[in-house]
Structure 1
Amino acid sequence: MGIPSAYVNQRRAAELLGVTTRTLRNWKSADFGPRPVRDGPSLLYRRDEIDDFRMGVAR
């Protein structure tokens, strides 16, 4: 089925944010950064939340 286009996987989210996947996991633990959504075993990130975070709009 694939990932809906509004979402990106953890690796792509890290690329878009210029950080490592480890940093994303640390941010998740600290309740910082774009919020991931669980899809089975995978963490997905909403593209609009990544864009908002990059622009300083979101948490």
Structure 2
Amino acid sequence: MRRGQKTSAEQVVLKLRQIEVQTAQGKSLALECKEAEISEQSCAMSAHSRKSSTH
């Protein structure tokens, strides 16, 4: 996802789910976020909100 490009909600959810799967398999969050071109802070916030909404 390049800067200045509008990303649909579906694309964002898909990317975040892919990151979640990869990190569960042992890849680092920083590497996955970089490959997805998403800031690590955004990924971490998303992961935190998913964890707190499931408990």
TM-score range, shorter chain: 0.3 to 0.5
TM-score by length of 2: 0.38
Bigger strand fraction: 1
TM-score by length of 1: 0.36
Higher RCO, Cα 8 Å, sep 6+: 1
The structure with the largest alpha-carbon Rg is 2
